[in-house]
Structure 1
Amino acid sequence: MILIVQIALVVAVILVSLVLMRGGVNAKHLAVRRIMLMTFAVAAALSIFFPDTLTRIASYLGIGRGTDLVLYATIVSFFVFMATTYQRFRNMETSITTLSRRIALDEAPKPWAAKQGQNCADDHRQ
């Protein structure tokens, strides 16, 4: 029974990792994300099949149990995710603001163009 649960958990980790590895805009960030996800997937699979090893690693680091180590790693990962997401949204807001200003300037009526058109019309009347 435990083997079935372990296999199901590893399959879930692999599927989630594959979904998260899909393409992005920045090749450098995509490479880093893929390396981190592969590291996570391997570590998760090993910790599912060998939970005692995770507990030994936690004890070596001065943490009581392997589950506590996983909890701490999850909290750190969540904060890193929050920081990178915040930075990405700030960059998007800046880009959207710059683009909106550019569009507004491009589409704004140009008073000098209207005056030139009137001057040309006046020149033709004479």
Structure 2
Amino acid sequence: MTARMFRDLPRIFMRSFGEEVSALWARNDGASVDLIDVIFNSAYVVRSADGIELTDPAPFAFVSVESALLIEPLRAVDLSLLFRNEGRDQLIIGGRAYGVESCTEDSHGMCTIELIEPKAA
């Protein structure tokens, strides 16, 4: 019963909290690049409950786990590796290639991806 209640949360989250942008997901094996919808924040700051900034501003993306698994079903074994930092998957957003620093699944069907800013040329 509880699982059924939360089943639609990722869709509601993607529709309600931010503007979806399309990104290209380039996997570290280099085999393919696919389009995926993300909520992108170029300067996300993690804060504690009392408002203290715990991190410097950094780019983050939020992705529905379901949409990522439709593209890459073999990564369902360990959702913390859905977007890999080893070998660096990339999300190409607005023409800029961001490397994946970390990936965290939130148990409500969403994945938070900390990204690495591309180096200036």
Whether TM-score is above 0.5 comes out as no
Larger Rg: 1
Q: Which has the higher contact order (CA 8 A, sep 6+)?
A: 2
Structure with the bigger percentage of strand: 2
Structure with the bigger percentage of helix: 1
Compute the TM-score of the two structures, normalised by the length of structure 1: 0.30
Compute the TM-score of the two structures, normalised by the length of structure 2: 0.30
